[in-house]
Amino acid sequence: TTPAPAATAAPAAGRLPNGELRRMVAAALAADPVREQSPREIAAGLNRSSGAVGNALEALTAAGHAERTSAAPRRYRATATTTTAATPAVTAPA
């Protein structure tokens, strides 16, 4: 028989729960609300891929929690509701 393949290691940064990256990106925008930031800048600070951060920024923009200030290069800044998106959801105890 052949040996079982080795398990693939999880990425160094690890997988996040659903919605957590959007919350982290919103928090990064809210930390400096007047500054325009690119997906790459935010991704570097969060140790995440710029593609995933870009997708999170688009979702935040669609929900009104971020504003795209430039299409090329893509840049974003916080809106009045960004801090709402940056707040972790509170779950009731079981």
Distances (CA, A) of 49 to 11, 25, 40, 78, 90: 11, 12, 8, 20, 27
How far, in Å, CA of 29 to CA of 73, rounded?
Answer: 17
Q: Which residue has the higher pLDDT, 8 or 26?
A: 26
Q: Is the dihedral of CA 40, 42, 46, 51 positive or negative?
A: negative
The correct answer on CATH 1.10.10.10 for the domain covering 20-86 is yes
Enumerate the domain spans of the chain.
20-86
Per-residue pLDDT of 15-37, as tens digits, reads 889 999 999 999 999 999 999 99
pTM for the complete prediction? 0.80
Alpha helix locations (H) across the chain?
20-31, 39-46, 50-62, 82-86
